[in-house]
Amino acid sequence: MKFMRKLLKMQGYIPDEVVTGKLGSYSAALRELGLSHLHVTGRR
């Protein structure tokens, strides 16, 4: 949660999509931040 909040604060805007691995903590943190609709997994 701290990591995602820090990344979003450094960007200064909400991205169009957030691409991460399939680790469950990423989806949990984005769900808590209210950004789960932007989450895309496994695309490189």
State pLDDT tens for residues 14-34.
Answer: 889 989 988 889 899 999 999
Whole-number average pLDDT of the chain: 88
How far apart CA 2 and CA 6 sit, in angstroms, is 6
How far apart CA 28 and CA 43 sit, in angstroms, is 19
Tokens found for residue 35: 């950004």
- Give residue 43's pLDDT: 63
- Give residue 42's pLDDT: 81
3-state helix, strand and coil shares in percent for the chain, rounded to the nearest 5:
50, 15, 35
3-state DSSP call for residue 36? Answer: helix
How far apart CA 30 and CA 20 sit, in angstroms, is 11
